[in-house]
């Protein structure tokens, strides 16, 4: 049931322990569900209750700690032996005077993990200030250290097995974008188009079934394209308006996202002009991405093309991507923007996304790519241009 071999998980744990040693950590408490999955295979929609993977610096296998009813899910999906999968009693869930991390702290003490330098993910989804406070109360002899993104950085360079899931996700998003182009037409309710899109994402291909993506389909339309994260309504699509499509294929929690823009009717000149600049800048940035380049260096190439074309964009133009859970398929490590001096390495994977949001319209075009030994290779093979349905 785990998506990778035991050897691959053990390699990931070893790389994590190396970073723990560099940070002087005796114990790491991982709450980000993507990091939990990465280290153990654990997979389930159970992150709405507190849970974690605990990595001792040396010796013992990690522990997976979840709500009692989810322990069987841990047995089914993680590569670890049953003794390393613990479930806490249900009366700790959403209780007034108890927190699941009270139980977890007790259990850590019982395992002899109650002392030393303990890292927690201070800015991870699903790790709350209350969880952190419970750990501090329950482990008074521990010294807490911020280990945010420690595992995320281990994830930045992908293995061949991970890349093959992203390739499969690319086939899924190509089919999904084609389904979106088919579904959107004047008079069609937005919800009906998204129904077709979501079905295509989850159906996948005959060879590869689709997993749920970490974002729902984002399809702002009309004036909604002035901002990227509105979701659909049941209003109909209207002729003479653009629609942005930001979608992903997902396979075993690995994403390949893609953004495109569709226009119903004849696109106005300003949209065509912006499209031309964005396409030129996207290609120039892709051409610049290669091992040894910095993240900010890739962005600078876009920025020059954009300035020449009269387009300005305050926000970053891309980020590392791969394994994740809602609410984000980004990995929170690399950002393509000024000041990010991360040096690109082979098998890093990024989503280069050029989103332009003006007062009453917008446009997005993107490519998800892998850094190769000599350059950058997009995962998808799908026309980039504005898709016009006249």
Q: By CB under 8 A, tell whether 5 contacts its own copies.
A: no
CA proximity to 32, closest of 135, 140, 122:
122
68 touches its own copies (CB under 8 A): yes
Question: Which of 23, 163, 196, 388 is in the footprint of its own copies by CB under 8 A?
Answer: 196
Tokens, residue 256 = 């390949």
Going by C-alpha positions, the residue among 152, 230, 149, 167 that lies closest to residue 194 is 230
User: Should residue 195 be labelled a site residue for its own copies when binding is judged by CB under 8 A?
Assistant: yes
- Counting contacts by CB under 8 A, is residue 327 touching its own copies? yes
Residue in this structure with the two tokens 């499969």, named with its chain if needed = 168
Interface of this chain with its own copies, residues 251 to 290, rule: CB under 8 A: none
* 148 lines the binding site for its own copies (CB under 8 A): yes
Q: Are 294 and 344 in contact (CB under 8 A)?
A: yes
Q: Is the dihedral of CA 106, 111, 116, 119 positive or negative?
A: negative
Cα angle at 245 between 244 and 250, to 5 degrees? 160
Q: Does 46 bind its own copies (CB under 8 A)?
A: yes
- 47-66 residues in contact with its own copies (CB under 8 A) are 47-48
Within 10 angstroms of residue 181's Cβ, the number of other Cβ atoms is 16
- The count of chain residues that interact with its own copies, using the rule CB under 8 A, is 85
Nearer to its own copies, 13 or 101 (CB): 101
Placement of tokens 């408490």 in the chain? 29
CA separation, residue 299 to residues 184, 306, 313, 332 (Å)? 32, 10, 11, 17
R_g (Cα) of the chain, nearest Å:
22
13 or 150: whose CB is closer to its own copies? Answer: 150
Site string for its own copies, 345-384 (x = CB under 8 A): ----------x-x-x-------------------------
> Of 6-14, 131-139, 280-288, 302-310, which segment contacts its own copies by CB under 8 A?
131-139
CB of 374 to its own copies, least distance (A): 28
Comparison of 162 and 211: residue with beta carbon closer to its own copies: 211
CB contact set of 195 (below 8 Å; sequence gap of 6+): none
What six digits make up the tokens of 59? 């010796």
The residues in 82-121 that bind its own copies, with binding defined as CB under 8 A, are: 89-91, 93-95, 99, 120
208 lies in the binding site for its own copies (CB under 8 A)? yes
Asked if residue 314 binds its own copies (CB under 8 A), the reply is yes
């Amino acid at each position: 049931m785990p998506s990778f071999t035991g050897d691959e998980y053990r390699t990931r744990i070893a790389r994590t322990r190396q970073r723990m040693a560099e940070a002087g950590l005796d114990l790491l408490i991982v709450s980000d569900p993507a990091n939990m999955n990465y280290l153990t295979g654990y997979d389930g929609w159970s992150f709405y209750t507190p849970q974690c993977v605990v990595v001792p610096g040396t010796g013992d296998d990690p522990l997976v700690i979840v709500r009692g009813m989810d322990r069987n899910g841990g047995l089914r999906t993680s590569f670890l032996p049953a003794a390393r999968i613990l479930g806490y009693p249900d009366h700790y869930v959403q209780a007034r005077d108890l927190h699941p991390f009270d139980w977890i702290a007790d259990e850590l003490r019982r395992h002899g993990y109650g002392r030393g330098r303990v890292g927690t993910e201070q800015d991870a989804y699903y790790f709350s200030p209350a969880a952190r406070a419970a750990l501090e109360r329950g482990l008074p002899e521990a010294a807490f250290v911020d280990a945010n993104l420690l595992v995320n950085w281990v994830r930045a360079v992908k293995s061949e097995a991970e890349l093959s899931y992203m390739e499969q996700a690319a086939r899924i998003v190509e089919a999904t974008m084609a389904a979106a182009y088919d579904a959107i037409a004047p008079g069609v309710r937005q919800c009906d188009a998204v129904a077709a899109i979501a079905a295509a994402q989850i159906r996948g291909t005959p060879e590869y079934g689709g997993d749920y993506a970490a974002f729902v389909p984002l399809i702002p339309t009309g004036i909604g394209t002035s901002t990227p994260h509105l979701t659909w309504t049941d209003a109909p699509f209207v002729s003479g308006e653009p629609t942005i499509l930001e979608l992903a294929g997902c396979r075993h929690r690995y994403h390949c996202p893609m953004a495109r823009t569709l226009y119903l009717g004849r696109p106005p000149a300003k949209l065509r002009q912006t499209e031309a600049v964005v396409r030129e800048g996207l290609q120039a940035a892709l051409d610049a991405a290669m091992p040894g380049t910095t993240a900010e260096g890739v962005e600078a190439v876009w920025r020059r093309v954009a300035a020449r074309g009269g387009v300005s964009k305050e926000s970053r133009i891309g980020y590392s991507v791969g394994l994740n859970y809602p609410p984000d398929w980004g990995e929170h490590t690399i950002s393509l923007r000024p000041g990010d001096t991360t040096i690109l390495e082979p098998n890093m994977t990024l989503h280069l996304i050029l989103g332009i949001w003006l007062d009453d319209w917008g446009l997005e075009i993107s490519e998800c790519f892998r850094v190769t030994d000599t350059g950058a290779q997009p995962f998808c093979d799908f026309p980039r241009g504005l898709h016009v349905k006249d």
